[in-house]
Amino acid sequence: MDRLVVPSAPQFEHHETGFGIGHASPRLSWTFTTPGVRIPNSWTQSAYELQIIRGSQYHEQTHHVPGEQAVLVPWPWEPLRSREIARVRVRCYGKEVAALNESATKWSEWSTVEAGLLHQDDWQAAFITSSQRVPDPTTSVSPIRFRKRFQLTPKSSPILRARLYITALGVYHAYLNGKRVGNHCMAPGWTAYDHRLNYQAFDVTDLIQDNEENALTVEVGPGWYASRLGFNGGKRCCYGSPDLAILAQLEVSAEDSEASWVLPSNDTWECLPSAIQSSEIYDGEVYDMRLENQTWSTANYDTQQSTPVATRVLPWPQAKLISPNAPPVRVVQELPPASILVSPSGKVILDFGQNLVGKLRIRSTVLPQDQQLTLTHAEVLEDGELCTRPLRTAKCRDIVLGSGEGLSNWTPAFTFHGFRYVQVDGWPGVQPSIDDFVALVMHTDMPRRGWFACSNSHINSLHSNIVWGMRGNFVSVPTDCPQRDERLGWTGDLQVFANSAAYLYNTTGMLFEWLQDLSAEHLEDHRRGIPPLVVPDVLQKAGGSLAQAVWGDAVVVVPDVLHLYSADTNIVRGQYDSMRVWLDFGIPRSPDGLWDPDRWQLGDWLDPTAPPDNPRDSRTDSVLVADAYLAHITATLAKMCEAIGETADATRYAADAQRLKSAFADKYISPQGNIMSNTQTAISLAICFSLYRDIDQKRTAAASLSRLIRRSNFALSTGFVGTKFITQALTITGQPPLAYRMLLSKKCPSWLYPLTQGATTIWERWDSIRPDGSVNTGEMTSFNHYALGSIANWLHTSVGGIAPLEPGWKALQWAETRFNGPYGVVKCRWEVNDGEFHMVVHIPPNTRALVILPVEQHIEVGDEDETGTWVGSGVHEFRLPSLTNKAFLLPHLIGRYRR
């Protein structure tokens, strides 16, 4: 038996557990652990065997499949039925290169998969709302409560299992006999509600009381369904109705029978007003303790206090019910305040020392009758006071109205805020202490998968800010910012940040769901092939769409990134129509195939040279940016067509890409290689997208870029677009020292400048706080926007390339990255000691890596002509005895995902 490697228990699709999964034939993946001291050398899998036990009969079925595939292998058995439970395990055959015989590994642990409700007719439940109509849907819609009392029949059978399948129009918390069901926040999450609505499955076996009265209750707030959304005042009830509703189905199986006892939501349920008076995404929550009925969620509900009203059944919505692969939003961390400040005007302000997204929890206090406790959240202080101006119209304020009773572990239910500071007004008695509060950090609970560290603490802080920025903006959907009156799934922001994100966390489940919302909305007839600017689209629901490069190009770029990080061709296949429709019909073109130059473009948004009140007035021509991207995404789509075997389209798009590149060069690049818009962004894009005609033009480009950067004294002049590419362009033109000089600069605008102003997340503008300490007065002044954090991709992928190549500035001595990829953990660490370069790489079983070591400077820009050494699994060391004091290309570690 092969004892060197052991396969992990199989994972199902991109699902976090396999419980309640929405696939009848979920694909299976495993990685390998190496219990011994070393990773075996060049170990590859030659076959796998899968075993399944289904239902209650102990009947194993084994499938033997030759090959190396260990990621997303097909489900080889009959599809699962709704609710079916199965256990699956795997063992593999393989060998080290040096070994003669193949041998089988140990069996993995068993994994359990349980199908959710796979068909609409599995639902006996109906969507129900209150029979009392919402009086004025233009004002905030108040949360409501639903309840149903029940007894199990027949009473005596012991319970085998109980499942609650549930969703809401709004966001909900469910309780069974007073106990909270699950730990999801803001469930069912935000999707394109006209097309797709998530439901959740919970195991509630332990919450049911066998021979007694039970109560199933659900509280629903407006969430994204009915809160005000969008800037300039926004709009409430974007999905057309103010009726908050639930769909709930409790199924209980007794030990002596396979059949289930079902409790569906219907018009026999009751509805109650909530003590939460209002709860909105931007404005926060108002909780009135005086209206609370502590028994409302239990079977002993006291009807004296509030009289229930009837419920009304709503028509089944047109949206498809989905059991998502994305993990839910959860509270993932608790942070105590770092300090409590008293502002110059005497306000009490909590400082958490970290800009974060989530909400506050009050541990315990007694709030006198009618006293109002107000918690106002903000990201920054100005002149020592809470600075709420950047929040625009969002109130970001939670209020509790006292009843004279104790408030214990209170936190708002259906909102979240982006904040570092919280002003506390109306605290009862003496001033609060640090122990009275804790911040609950919330985001989509994606597994962390990539790490980076190096010997420069400022760069480590920058990286930490990028990670916090990502965490704060991956709350059900990937958003631009988490605090002001936006928090929308802007496509362009994700487009530039997607590969940084995919490295840091396993985003495949979440972003593939988001992409399905994107394509569902994009392919709506009235859009004429133009993707929404924000997904879910609450900005242009009614009207036409605005065709935008870079933003719309997320349609192609995001699937490509996810495919690269997951090896999942279903993502490409699933987005195929949307990608083609954008390129073939959506983009308004001029006769040369490039963009119609009369279209308004956001361009290199928030270029630091643009005036604060006109962020699109960039130095780089916005049509040039659009055209460069068009050539790039056409080539990217050709590559993806190849990956899914669509060879005719692959050839067509590859030829288009060539034509567009040449049209771009004709339009913008002089024979000598000077580009119109002689800017950092324009040159970087043309280098990274291989738009120069030949090596001489590339040499000119490299020299121009260098000149521009030196003249600006190493300051950045890139916005959302150029920031992602400038260091990459310098790297591939053999000028990494310039990239590091820019990276290490602390003058505004630079990556490290915000750190000098105390930043703990990535800002929307390079100077969201200006050098004089004042908060930028522009409309776009968020302190938590991930877009400019796209440098992370360069930090990750060009790991090890940071070198002291020019005298006089401080160098890094070591850097390390670790990435938990689909085939296991890849690690790389390098250090330079006394001029000796030493690199150690860890390659997991069943993969190979191309290792490219530092070489002397050369300028074969973007031609992928690097030569390296292929290595199989194992731990490999590389040494270079003495480095010259010249620029060199960075070492790379390129994981090859095998299929």
Nearer Cβ to ligand BGC (330/785): 785
Stretch that binds ligand BGC, among 81-89, 414-422, 487-495, 729-737 (CB under 6 A): 487-495
Nearer Cβ to ligand BGC (317/719): 719
Residue 823 CA to residue 808 CA, distance in Å, equals 42
Give the angle subtended at the CA of 358 by the CAs of 352 and 362, to the nearest 5°: 70
* Plot region of 354 (φ>0 → left; ψ -120 to 50 → alpha; else → beta): beta
* Residues in contact with 657: Cβ distance below 8 Å, sequence separation at least 6, in sequence order: 631, 634, 635, 638
The residue of the chain with the least Cβ separation from ligand BGC equals 480
DSSP 405: S
Q: Contact letters (x/-) for ligand BGC, 768-807, by CB under 6 A?
A: ------------x----x----------------------
Dihedral over Cα of 400, 406, 408, 414: its sign: negative
Residue 196 CA to residue 79 CA, distance in Å, equals 23
| Smallest separation (angstroms) from ligand BGC to the CB of 605 | 6
Nearer Cβ to ligand BGC (88/533): 533
Residue 202 CA to residue 181 CA, distance in Å, equals 7
| Smallest separation (angstroms) from ligand BGC to the CB of 606 | 8
Q: Contact letters (x/-) for ligand BGC, 288-327, by CB under 6 A?
A: ----------------------------------------
What six digits make up the tokens of 510?
């979440």
Cα dihedral 704, 706, 711, 717, rounded to 10, equals 90
Nearer Cβ to ligand BGC (360/602): 602
| Smallest separation (angstroms) from ligand BGC to the CB of 876 | 42
Burial of residue 808 (CB within 10 Å: 0-12, 13-18, 19+) is exposed
Residue 94 CA to residue 390 CA, distance in Å, equals 58
Residue 268 CA to residue 327 CA, distance in Å, equals 32
| Smallest separation (angstroms) from ligand BGC to the CB of 546 | 10
* Residues in contact with 240: Cβ distance below 8 Å, sequence separation at least 6, in sequence order: none
Nearer Cβ to ligand BGC (600/870): 600
CA distances from 8 to 52, 65, 91, 112, 507 (A): 15, 17, 9, 13, 20
Task: Say how many residues make up the chain.
Answer: 899
Nearer Cβ to ligand BGC (231/427): 231
| Smallest separation (angstroms) from ligand BGC to the CB of 661 | 27
Nearer Cβ to ligand BGC (114/485): 485
| Smallest separation (angstroms) from ligand BGC to the CB of 215 | 43
Burial of residue 318 (CB within 10 Å: 0-12, 13-18, 19+) is exposed
Residue 696 CA to residue 676 CA, distance in Å, equals 17
Q: Which of 493, 521, 553, 568 binds ligand BGC (CB under 6 A)?
A: 493
CA 847 from centroid of its chain's CA atoms? 27
| Smallest separation (angstroms) from ligand BGC to the CB of 8 | 38
Nearer Cβ to ligand BGC (440/602): 602
| Smallest separation (angstroms) from ligand BGC to the CB of 784 | 10
Nearer Cβ to ligand BGC (586/615): 615
CA distances from 106 to 7, 12, 90, 97, 625 (A): 8, 20, 9, 20, 54
Give the active site residue among 379, 486, 521, 646: 486
Nearer Cβ to ligand BGC (490/576): 490
Nearer Cβ to ligand BGC (665/721): 721
Specify the residue for token string 């050369």: 858
Stretch that binds ligand BGC, among 13-21, 93-101, 284-292, 486-494 (CB under 6 A): 486-494
Give the angle subtended at the CA of 286 by the CAs of 428 and 427, to the nearest 5°: 10
Stretch that binds ligand BGC, among 343-351, 489-497, 829-837, 869-877 (CB under 6 A): 489-497
Q: How many residues bind ligand BGC (CB under 6 A)?
A: 10
Task: Tell me which residues in 466-485 interact with ligand BGC (CB under 6 A).
Answer: 480-481
Residue 478 CA to residue 499 CA, distance in Å, equals 13
Nearer Cβ to ligand BGC (232/672): 232
Please name the residue ranges forming H helices in 479-621: 491-504, 508-522, 554-566, 569-581
Residue 256 CA to residue 338 CA, distance in Å, equals 56
486 touches ligand BGC by CB under 6 A: yes
**How many other C-beta atoms are found inside a 10 Å radius of the C-beta of residue 316?**
12
| Smallest separation (angstroms) from ligand BGC to the CB of 480 | 4
Q: Are 421 and 349 in contact (CB under 8 A)?
A: yes
| Smallest separation (angstroms) from ligand BGC to the CB of 492 | 5
Residue 671 CA to residue 283 CA, distance in Å, equals 56
Q: Which of 202, 224, 490, 830 binds ligand BGC (CB under 6 A)?
A: 490
Nearer Cβ to ligand BGC (722/844): 722
What six digits make up the tokens of 716?
């950045």
Q: Which of 492, 719, 722, 749 binds ligand BGC (CB under 6 A)?
A: 492
Q: Is 486 a catalytic residue?
A: yes
Burial of residue 543 (CB within 10 Å: 0-12, 13-18, 19+) is exposed
Stretch that binds ligand BGC, among 169-177, 361-369, 490-498, 555-563 (CB under 6 A): 490-498
| Smallest separation (angstroms) from ligand BGC to the CB of 488 | 7
Q: Are 376 and 397 in contact (CB under 8 A)?
A: yes
Q: Contact letters (x/-) for ligand BGC, 580-619, by CB under 6 A?
A: ----------------------x--x--------------
Residue 386 CA to residue 382 CA, distance in Å, equals 6
| Smallest separation (angstroms) from ligand BGC to the CB of 654 | 30
Which of 59, 54, 51, 47 is CA-nearest to residue 88?
51
Give the active site residue among 219, 270, 764, 816: 764
| Smallest separation (angstroms) from ligand BGC to the CB of 357 | 15
Q: Is 764 a catalytic residue?
A: yes
Residue 416 CA to residue 141 CA, distance in Å, equals 17
Give me the helix-helix angle, 491-504 and 457-473, nearest 10°. 120
Residue 272 CA to residue 310 CA, distance in Å, equals 9
**How many other C-beta atoms are found inside a 10 Å radius of the C-beta of residue 427?**
17
- Please identify every residue annotated as catalytic: 486, 764
Which residues in this chain contact ligand BGC in the complex, by CB under 6 A? 480-481, 486, 490, 492-493, 602, 605, 780, 785
